[in-house]
Amino acid sequence: MTLKMKIIILVLTLLLGAVGVAQFSGWPKARLTIHVVGEDGTAIQGAKLIFGFSTKMDYAARDLVEGLTDSSGNFTAEGYTGGRLGVQISKDGYYEGGSNNPIYQKDDGLGHWQPWDQTFTTILRKIGNPIPMYVRKFGGAIPSAINEPCGFDLEEGDWVAPFGKGKVADFIVTFTYLKYTDYNNNEATATITFSNDRDGIQEVHLPKEFSNSRFTWPREAPETDYQPKFDMHHLWSMSGHDTVMTDTVKGVDGYFFRVRTVKQGDKIVSALYGKITGGIGIGPNEGKNGYTGFTYYLNPTPNDRNLEWDTKKNLAPTPKEPTLQVRDP
């Protein structure tokens, strides 16, 4: 091989390498397939997917890839990403959903994120029977003293007389201990009890398979297993680099509750059902009295355990503060 030929080969190799670098410089591409099914596992055709990829090396620019699932419930998308991407899934008659997508961390060296072309299954939940409900995000100081019960009316969203305009004590909140040294050192204990036999509350751990849906809850409250008393404890202590925190409601997705129960013998003939999303927060109100907060949904129809909310029909007055709007079904 002559020197001239060797030089030509070397130049071509460098040019090809440069093309390769140019082709795969910046972020790698990701390719994945979303498999959309209903709650019964049947494939859903015609669901619309919108993927939020990123234009190469620019976090601010978005490269949207849209499409519909095929007869097998599948849609495949490809695009550049810095390691994360989002997907929105929608179809008439179903709650909006998303998908558990990978956080890409490994590049194969050829401009492809690994895993390449992996399939992820997501469940779309049908919209069933959304109803008007009382929905509020409440937060406020309890007006009664330590060890003095104070009733809360869920329909009115206020404490009962003489502390507020409430008429029915659905929740009876009693703070049993308060200690307030400063913002970083305080403690509180409280209980919630109820007015009627068979009223009560129970913890909820939501199904993981619905975690990507806008509607994550069971459609109905259960008929049994309501507890007549709920104990709460809050502790926040910070000293130097040492922090101690205790919260009764930590790790709980929410609660079902039953109130205004009416019985004939051992049979419940009337009751109202509802849910609390997230926890029930308590604490000392700067040492003056107790503070509590929770977001609740109350079905106003006796004996109806349906908890699927029509977001356009909130029976509670709209709060003045925009941050207190509640939008989940």
pLDDT for 62 equals 77
214 vs 23 pLDDT, higher one = 214
Q: In this structure, is residue 8 part of a structural domain? A: no
pLDDT for 59 equals 62
pLDDT for 240 equals 67
pLDDT in tens, 64-97: 999 999 999 999 999 998 888 889 999 999 999 9
Give the residue ranges of DSSP H helices in 81-145.
Answer: none
Q: Is pLDDT at 4 greater than 90 in this prediction?
A: no
Q: Is pLDDT at 325 greater than 70 in this prediction?
A: no
Indicate the pTM of the whole model.
Answer: 0.84
C-alpha to C-alpha distance for 132 and 312, rounded to whole angstroms: 8
pLDDT in tens, 109-166: 889 999 899 999 999 999 999 999 999 999 999 999 999 999 999 999 999 999 999 9
pLDDT in tens, 171-214: 999 999 999 888 788 899 999 999 999 999 999 999 899 999 99
pLDDT for 104 equals 84
The confidence band for 233, taking pLDDT boundaries of 50, 70 and 90, is very high
pLDDT for 190 equals 95
24 vs 260 pLDDT, higher one = 260
Whether residues 52 and 79 share a domain: the answer is: yes
Q: In this structure, is residue 9 part of a structural domain? A: no
pLDDT for 16 equals 38
pLDDT for 97 equals 96
Chosen domain end from 82, 106, 123: 123
pLDDT for 102 equals 80
Whether residues 166 and 271 share a domain: the answer is: yes
- Supply angle C-alpha 118, 120, 121, rounded to 5: 150
Q: Is pLDDT at 21 greater than 50 in this prediction?
A: no
C-alpha to C-alpha distance for 311 and 96, rounded to whole angstroms: 14
Whether residues 98 and 137 share a domain: the answer is: no
Q: In this structure, is residue 16 part of a structural domain? A: no
Whether residues 144 and 290 share a domain: the answer is: yes
Average pLDDT of every residue of the chain: 86
Chosen domain end from 87, 105, 123: 123
pLDDT for 94 equals 97
Chosen domain end from 123, 157, 177: 123
Residue range of the domain that includes 304 = 131-317
pLDDT in tens, 7-20: 333 333 333 333 34
Q: Is pLDDT at 3 greater than 90 in this prediction?
A: no
Q: What is the mean pLDDT of residues 22-44?
A: 85
C-alpha to C-alpha distance for 276 and 62, rounded to whole angstroms: 36
Q: In this structure, is residue 21 part of a structural domain? A: no
Whether residues 143 and 286 share a domain: the answer is: yes
Tokens of 64: 């949207």
C-alpha to C-alpha distance for 56 and 28, rounded to whole angstroms: 8
Whether residues 154 and 44 share a domain: the answer is: no
Whether residues 117 and 172 share a domain: the answer is: no
User: How many domains does one find in the chain?
Assistant: 2
**Between the CA of residue 321 and those of 47, 281, 285, 318, 326, what are the distances in Å?**
36, 19, 20, 9, 11
CATH code: domain of residue 58: 2.60.130.10
229 CB-near residues (< 8 Å, 6+ apart)? 191, 192, 193
Whether residues 149 and 297 share a domain: the answer is: yes
219 vs 243 pLDDT, higher one = 219
Tokens of 192: 């919630």
Whether residues 85 and 114 share a domain: the answer is: yes
Q: In this structure, is residue 323 part of a structural domain? A: no
Q: In this structure, is residue 54 part of a structural domain? A: yes
The confidence band for 322, taking pLDDT boundaries of 50, 70 and 90, is very low
